[in-house]
């Protein structure tokens, strides 16, 4: 079965889709957060709050996305969260 990933960025005031990216299911999704955030900011130039899943919580991502406003749920099993 073919797998894929959907990266979807929506507005917070009505959930209007602003950006959609389809990727190979074998792609490591945590590697794309900074690129997606930067591309969205360049295209829309708005003061955004990015909401991401727990995959954003890697040391590399945290260093790269420091200039963006973002929020995520950190899974309790993550060593760094303890």
Please report the pLDDT score of residue 80 as a whole number. Answer: 61
Please report the pLDDT score of residue 4 as a whole number. Answer: 92
Burial of 61 (0-12, 13-18, 19+ CB in 10 A): buried
Q: What is the reported pTM?
A: 0.69
Per-residue pLDDT tens digits for 5-55: 888 888 878 778 888 899 888 888 778 888 888 888 888 887 888 888 888
Q: Residue ranges per domain, the chain? A: 4-81
Please report the pLDDT score of residue 78 as a whole number. Answer: 64
Radius of gyration (C-alpha) of the chain in whole angstroms: 13
Q: Out of 2-6, 56-60, 63-67, 76-80, which region has the weakest mean confidence (pLDDT)?
A: 76-80
Span 55-82, average pLDDT: 80
């Amino acid at each position: 079965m073919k797998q894929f990933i959907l990266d979807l960025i929506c507005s917070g005031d009505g959930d209007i889709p602003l950006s959609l990216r389809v990727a190979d299911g074998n792609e490591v999704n945590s590697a794309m957060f900074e690129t997606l955030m930067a591309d969205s900011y360049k295209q829309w130039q708005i003061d955004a709050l990015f909401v991401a899943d727990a995959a954003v919580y890697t040391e590399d991502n945290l260093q790269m996305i420091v200039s963006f406003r973002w929020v995520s749920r950190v899974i309790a099993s993550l060593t760094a969260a303890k």
